[in-house]
Structure 1
Amino acid sequence: MAGRIPLVDYLVLDGDEPHLVAQECTNCSARFFDRRNACANCFASEFTTVPIPTEGTVRAFTIVAFAAPGIPTPFVAAVVDCGGTQVRANLVNVEPDPEHVHDGMRVRLTTQSIGTDTEGTEAMGFGFEPLTKEDRR
């Protein structure tokens, strides 16, 4: 295999454990996952890159029943609090119904293959999965 590349710039695949990184404003500590010229909170223009914890808690979710053609449904879209940083991602490896997903559920970052090109390079995406069987209810 030729290697792996992240689907988004803020997913880090190098090292021991995949993780996310955010751009943190050096003035007010607001965090953003996309490139910024200025902070949306205080308008400062200096940022540092900070790692985001790989475990978190579901703060909000919705079960998506209708999506664009070719997107399998249902799936769970969620906001996960990772040590004070809000991450929007899908929940994976859990049944997409209210009996298995709940606010306060503990989750951890996981990666999955999105596809492989003709040269064998694998594109990797991320989501969150329940931390323990008890978190699946």
Structure 2
Amino acid sequence: MTSEQSLAGRRIPLVDYLVLEGEPHLVAHECVTCAARYFDRRNACASCEQAEFRVVDVPTEGELRAFTIVSFAAPGVPVPFVAGVVDCGGTTVRGNVVNVAPDPEHIRLGMKLRLTTTSLGTDAAGVEAIGYGFEPAA
């Protein structure tokens, strides 16, 4: 079996802080000194300048704190869509709001959302890229 054949049917997260095993969820790097959280790798905390972090799970449900309805995007990106900022138990997460009409009548600040995953496509080797977004919780 070639390495390309062994990858067929495999799902990989688009970002390294999306965990697909078990119930899909996000993980953050949390400063052990001040509890600031980051999704990207850090050498030091931007809040307290300390350098020790632990990996923590981010709650999968949250509340929409800010959003914009995107009407213009790069070629090939379907519009309109909703880009949002979601408070997940005190952790700020940026992500698209999906599975809801992208208009002000259906999107509102404070709406309850939950994490969901979406397929972003499959390459020629059969490897599927998985992204995340947030959908209405109720």
Give unmatched runs, 5+ long, in structure 1: 133-137
TM-score, with structure 1 as normaliser: 0.94
Rg (Cα) greater in structure:
2
Paired residues, number = 131
Give unmatched runs, 5+ long, in structure 2: 1-7
CA distance in 2, matches of 1:54, 1:3: 23
Moved over 3 A (4+): none
2:33 is paired with a residue whose SS is: coil
The Cα offsets for residues 85-112 of structure 1, whole Å up to 9 and x where unpaired, read as: 0000000000000000000000000000
Identical amino acids, percent of aligned pairs: 69
Equivalent position to 1:31, from 37, 42, 51: 37
Task: Confirm whether residue 7 of structure 1 aligns to residue 20 of structure 2.
Answer: no
CA distance in 1, matches of 2:57, 2:13: 16
Aligned alpha-carbon RMSD (Å) = 0.7
1:87-106 to structure 2, matched below 5 A, reads: 87-106=93-112
The Cα offsets for residues 11-53 of structure 1, whole Å up to 9 and x where unpaired, read as: 00012x1000000001100000000001011110000000000
CA distance in 2, matches of 1:66, 1:126: 21
Equivalent position to 2:82, from 76, 82, 104: 76
